[in-house]
Amino acid sequence: MTKEIVINPITRIEGHAKVTIFLKEDEAVKEARFQVTDFRGFEKFCEGRPFYEMPSITARSCGICSVSHLIASAKACDVIVGVTPPATAVMLRRLMHMGQIIQSHALNFFHLAFPDLLLGMDADPAERNIFGLIEKHPDVAMQGIKLRKFGQELIEKVAGRRIHSSDWIIPGGGKWPFTKQNADYLLSKLPEALDITLKTIKLFKNCLQELEDEVQNFGNFPTYYLGLVTAKGGLEHYDGKIRIVDAEGKIVADQLDPAVYYEYIGEAVEPWSYMKFPYYKPLGYPDGAYRVGPLARLNVASHCGTPLADEELKEFKQLGKNGVVQSTFHYHYARLIEILFCLEGVKEILEEPDILSERVSSKAFVNNDQGVGVAEAPRGTLIHHYAVDPQGMIVWTNMIIATEHNNLAYNKAVTQVAKKYVKAKQLKEGMLNRVEAVIRAFDPCLSCATHAVGQMPLEVQLIDAEGKLVDRIFR
Ligand code: NI
Ligand code: MG
């Protein structure tokens, strides 16, 4: 009798993980678990390094999220040296971070998720990938490549390199000023990126009619939502304070200081995963489960603050009760709205006269023995917390990675999708692909979340009522 199904690894996500589906006596799905089986080491091996090396060390934990780590890390270092970076440096950091969000969201949407949306959840897996997309919809694939390239160029023009651009960012600001030539170049490329984004939003909405069933059943459940907002409650990626809303849209906590995240965020541990389970402390574990990332940010924010994104946000908020959208499927929609918001924000910053100011760093050495830096990475709230000795050597670190915050929600989501679609008696590939697709909607980054040492496998397992493994799929 069938006991358990294993999907390993889950494909088209950043990093490696597996899903185990546990079955009841009658082979109906009992529960599913998203398991990350790797060991994280970064927090430990940073100890003993000088604090000013932290941005470039932690950026190496991931090739996709490197800029987000640079930002959170540099902000923690700003606190250690006790300075406020010059306004121009903040604008330039924001600019490269917007580039990061654009490139990362474009990667998830076009390369990882769009094959499911455009080619179908049940399409042949040999074609249901970026190569199949290039063959069937070459124009769409090309637009995805162009949009991602624009995000990468933004990073490159500010910081010198597209990936691991840690040469520029330093505690207190950045190393060199921006040039008019780079500003003009980026402004010339902006209209095309905007055009692609608006077209893609239309295309995505057209796909939705076909995917109504998935929208209803893909991790569609109540949780809390957590993210940074501006002082007025607007969408914020670089700075701001933390807001938490419940499934009904009620603000549970607002303008929480991210520097004391440990007062309200707890980190639980489960024996079956190396990824921790953050939760909102006042509600306890696991009741304090919340989601972060694009969906959560749009759920907590009352507005974006740029015209096109605000118009789209209004439509987005109509999908849920009191403006809170529960379906994990709509992380995709939220990602597109955030790209739009970033493109509009990029234009605003590039047109600021002060962007070319020569003053891009404030210099100082160790003035505080601790520093917390928080930013909204593409995947959600990213926290870096360092303690240093008087010489500025790291004595302790804690990082909470965006992907970790969603850990409780992943498990709820895979359970919901498995219960709805997986029929152990007539198992089909498309059923398991839906389990993978709900994970793709979250866009986890497991390299970041585990600070991988070595390889992380991903598999889906089907386990029976007596705990015996009955089927497994490795990727
Ligand atoms: Ni990452
Ligand atoms: Mg940690």
Give tens-digit pLDDT for 64-103.
888 999 999 999 999 999 999 999 999 999 999 999 999 9
With tokens 């079956």, the residue in question is 272
Enter the tokens of residue 422.
Answer: 């997986």
Expressed in angstroms and rounded, the spacing between residue 425 Cα and the centre of ligand 1 is 37
Is residue 448 domain-resident? no
Ligand index nearest the alpha carbon of residue 266: 2
Low-confidence winner among 96-105, 331-340, 371-380, 440-449 (lowest mean pLDDT): 440-449
User: Counting ligands in written order, which one lies closest to the CA of residue 40?
Assistant: 2
- pLDDT-derived band of residue 114, with 50, 70 and 90 as boundaries? confident
Report for 42-46, 116-120, 144-148, 207-211: range of highest mean pLDDT: 144-148
Q: Which residue has the higher pLDDT, 311 or 135?
A: 311
Distance 364 CA to ligand 2 centre (A): 28
Span from the CA of 400 to the centroid of ligand 2 (angstroms): 5
Q: 375 C-alpha vs ligand 1 centroid, how far in Å?
A: 14
Ligand nearest to the CA of 446: 1
CA 97 / ligand 1 centre spacing (Å):
14
Ligand 1 centre distance from Cα of residue 414 (Å): 21
Ligand 2: distance of its center to the CA of 85 in Å?
26
- CA 249 from chain centre, in angstroms, equals 22
Ligand nearest to the CA of 404: 2
Residue 471 or 60, more confident: 60
Whether 162 has a pLDDT exceeding 70, the answer reads: no
Q: How close is the Cα of 382 to the center of ligand 1, in Å?
A: 11
User: Shortest CA distance to 365 belongs to which of 345, 342, 391?
Assistant: 391
3 compared with 283, residue with greater pLDDT: 283
Residue 467 included in any domain: no
Other CB atoms within 10 A of residue 160 CB: 13
Q: How far is the CA of 447 from the centre of ligand 1 (A)?
A: 5
Cα 448 to averaged position of ligand 1 atoms, centre (Å): 4
**Long-range contact list for 175-178, CB < 8 A, 24+ apart?**
175/360, 175/361, 176/360, 177/88, 177/356, 177/357, 177/358, 177/359, 177/360, 178/88, 178/92, 178/355, 178/356, 178/360
14: pLDDT strictly greater than 90: no
Distance (Å) from CA 383 to ligand 2 centroid: 9
* Per-residue model confidence (pLDDT) at position 429: 82
Quote the pLDDT of residue 165: 65
Is residue 286 situated within a structural domain? yes
* Any domain includes 58: yes
**pLDDT grade for 160, boundaries at 50, 70 and 90:** confident
What burial class does residue 455 get, using C-beta atoms within 10 Å of its C-beta: 0-12 exposed, 13-18 middle, 19+ buried? Answer: exposed
Spacing, Cα 451 to ligand 2 middle (Å): 10
Give the model's pLDDT for residue 53.
92
For residue 255, the CA-to-ligand 2 centroid distance in Å is 23
Q: Which ligand is nearest to the CA of 451?
A: 1
Asked if residue 56 is part of any domain, the answer here is yes
Task: Read off the pLDDT of each residue in 320-337 and give the average, rounded to a whole number.
Answer: 96
Q: What percent of the chain has pLDDT over 70?
A: 91
pLDDT at 456: 35
Does the structure show a pLDDT above 90 at 324?
yes
**What is the arithmetic mean of pLDDT over 427-448?**
83
Residue 457 belongs to some domain of the structure: no
The pLDDT value recorded for residue 183 is 97
User: What is the whole-number distance in angstroms between the Cα of residue 450 and the centre of ligand 1?
Assistant: 9
Tell me the average pLDDT across 330-341. Answer: 97
Instruction: Say whether pLDDT at 262 is over 70.
Output: yes
Distance (angstroms) between ligand 1 centre and the Cα of 65 equals 4
CA of 13, nearest ligand number: 1
The structure's pTM equals 0.89
pLDDT at residue 422, as a whole number: 86
Q: Contact 399/176 with Cβ under 8 angstroms?
A: no
Residue 455 clears pLDDT 60, i.e. is over it: no
Nearest to 169 by CA among 49, 48, 60, 53: 53
Distance 371 CA to ligand 2 centre (A): 15
Centre of ligand 2 from the C-alpha of residue 367, in Å: 24
pLDDT at 461: 64
CA 237 to centroid of ligand 2, rounded, Å: 21
Amino acid of residue 30? K
Residue 452, pLDDT above cutoff 60? no
Whether 436 has a pLDDT exceeding 90, the answer reads no
For residue 25, the CA-to-ligand 2 centroid distance in Å is 38
Query: What's the pLDDT at 450?
Result: 58
Does the pLDDT of residue 12 top 80, yes or no? no
Which of 154-158, 171-175, 268-272 shows the lowest mean pLDDT across its residues? 268-272
Task: Give the domain CATH number at 237.
Answer: 1.10.645.10
Q: pLDDT grade, residue 471 (50/70/90)?
A: low
How remote is the CA of residue 30 from the centroid of ligand 1, in Å?
31
Output the CA 167–ligand 1 centroid distance in Å. 19
> What is the average per-residue pLDDT within 402-409?
88
CA–centroid distance, residue 64 to ligand 1 (Å): 5
Task: Say if residue 374's pLDDT is above 60.
Answer: yes
**What pLDDT, on the 0 to 100 scale, is given for residue 335?**
97
Residues with CB under 5 A from ligand 2 (ion): 398-399
Domain membership flag for residue 464: no
- Cα–ligand 1 centroid distance for 38 (angstroms): 14
Query: 456 in a domain, yes or no?
Result: no
**Average pLDDT over all residues of the chain:** 89
For residue 41, report the distance from its CA to the centre of ligand 2, in Å: 10
Of the chain, the percentage scoring pLDDT greater than 90 comes to 61
Q: Which ligand is nearest to the CA of 401?
A: 2
Which residues span the domain enclosing 385?
3-442
The count of structural domains within the chain is 1
Ligand showing the shortest atom-to-Cα distance for residue 399: 2
What pLDDT band is residue 8 in, cutting at 50, 70 and 90? confident
Q: What is the pLDDT of residue 271?
A: 78
- What's the 386 CA to ligand 2 centre distance in angstroms? 11
* Cβ(8)–Cβ(20) below 8 Å: no
Q: What is the pLDDT of residue 112?
A: 87
Q: How far is the CA of 444 from the centre of ligand 1 (A)?
A: 8
Q: What is the pLDDT of residue 426?
A: 78
Determine the pLDDT at residue 88: 97
**Which ligand is closest in space to the CA of residue 43?**
2
Q: Each residue of 192-223: pLDDT tens digit?
A: 999 999 999 999 999 888 899 999 999 999 99
> Distance from the CA of 275 to the center of ligand 2, in angstroms?
9
> With 70 as the cut, is the pLDDT of residue 475 above it?
no
Q: Read off the tokens for 315.
A: 């439509």
